[in-house]
Amino acid sequence: MTIPLLNADMGESFGPWVMGLDDQVMPHVDLANVACGFHASDPHVMRRTVRLAVAHGVRVGAHPAYPDLMGFGRRSMACSPAEVEDLVLYQLGALAGICEAEGTRLHYVKPHGALYNDMARDPELLAAVMRAVRAYDPGLPVMTMATRDDAPVRRLAGELGVTPWFEAFADRAYDGAGRLVSRREPGAVHHDPEAIVDQARRIASGLPLTASDGSELRLEADTLCVHGDNPESIAAVKAIRQALAEIDGAPS
Q: N- to C-terminal Cα distance for the chain?
A: 8
What gap in Å lies between CA 52 and CA 226, rounded to an integer? 18
Continuous segment of H or E residues that includes residue 113? helix 113-121
Domain count, the chain: 1
What gap in Å lies between CA 110 and CA 112, rounded to an integer? 6
What gap in Å lies between CA 106 and CA 104, rounded to an integer? 7
Structural domain of residue 31, as residue ranges?
A: 5-249
Amino acid at 169: F
User: Measured on CA atoms in the order 92, 94, 99, 101, is the torsion positive or negative?
Assistant: positive
CB-count burial class (<10 Å; 0-12, 13-18, 19+) for 174: buried
Give the model confidence (pLDDT) of 156-178 as tens digits. 999 999 999 999 999 899 999 89
- Record the pTM: 0.94
As a whole-number percent, the residues of the chain with pLDDT over 70 amount to: 98
Q: Supply the CATH number for residue 42's domain.
A: 3.20.20.370
Give the model confidence (pLDDT) of 12-29 as tens digits. 999 999 999 999 999 999
pLDDT of residue 1: 64
